[in-house]
Amino acid sequence: ILNVEQSPQSLHVQEGDSTNFTCSFPSSNFYALHWYRWETAKSPEALFVMTLNGDEKKKGRISATLNTKEGYSYLYIKGSQPEDSATYLCALYSGGGADGLTFGKGTHLIIQP
Amino acid sequence: DADVTQTPRNRITKTGKRIMLECSQTKGHDRMYWYRQDPGLGLRLIYYSFDVKDINKGEISDGYSVSRQAQAKFSLSLESAIPNQTALYFCATSPTLSGLAFNEQFFGPGTRLTVL
């Protein structure tokens, strides 16, 4: 069973501030890394799928970086807004004949007005 | 219109009962997955299917079975439900693009199952 760790577990941020959080994974099992945003009472929705070491992806105020050699990814949110409040999940795809994703427990982000 | 639908959305049942959760998709994706989510834990993979007639066990398949009746339908069954199967269950789909297996997954709205 792969170990995908996310930190912090929860985070309170003032509206307008920028923030970031971490996803760690075993680098030897890396094939692809997914980030999902999960709002309360809704379904998880994909933000990014990343495969290349050093890759950086951006969607509006949200961006992510990837370091496959050391086994981590950062998610950044610039100028947080109340609508950014959600749980952010990262998930590792390890390939090797096994499909499906191994998810971390998520970072629960609350933006305070 | 929802692309991935799950029925029922909520279900309360008793220990020992057989339960079926259904998932349908209109996205035309070949890959389908069942996950469960428990408080304090990440989503965990139960079963997945690459295609009709292809069924694969995930991390926590014991106590569950699945059926891929058509490309668009993937059902999860609990043959004899037990209280520790109380959880939020998600179905997900993904396409195989360019022969790659790790494309983003699209999740249904979830089924909240309570086993008393």
B97 has pLDDT over 80: no
Evaluate whether A4 touches A104 at the Cβ level (below 8 Å): yes
**Smallest Cβ distance to B105: which of A42, A101, A106?**
A101
What confidence tier does B100 reach under pLDDT thresholds 50, 70, 90?
low
Chain B environment of A43 (Cβ under 8 Å)? 4, 90, 107-110
Mean model confidence pLDDT for chain A: 92
What confidence tier does B2 reach under pLDDT thresholds 50, 70, 90?
low
Which residues are CB-neighbours of B62 under 8 A, at least 6 positions away? none
Residue B5: what pLDDT?
96
Task: Find which of B102, B103, B107, B112 to mutate to test the A interface (most A CBs within 10 Å of its CB).
Answer: B102
Distance CA A38, CA B110 (A): 12
If you measure CA to CA, which chain A residue comes closest to B49? Answer: A99
**Smallest Cβ distance to B102: which of A31, A43, A89?**
A31
What confidence tier does B68 reach under pLDDT thresholds 50, 70, 90?
very high
Distance CA A23, CA A35 (A): 9
Distance CA B51, CA B73 (A): 10
**Smallest Cβ distance to B42: which of A42, A95, A103?**
A103
At A38-89, the pLDDT tens digits run: 998 899 999 999 999 999 999 999 999 999 999 999 999 999 999 999 999 9
Least Cα separation, residue B35 to chain A (angstroms): 9
Q: Nearest-5° angle of CA B114, CA B23, CA A36? A: 85
If you measure CA to CA, which chain B residue comes closest to A51? Answer: B102
Query: Quick check: B102 and A106 CB within 8 A?
Result: no
Percentage of chain B beyond pLDDT 90 is 78
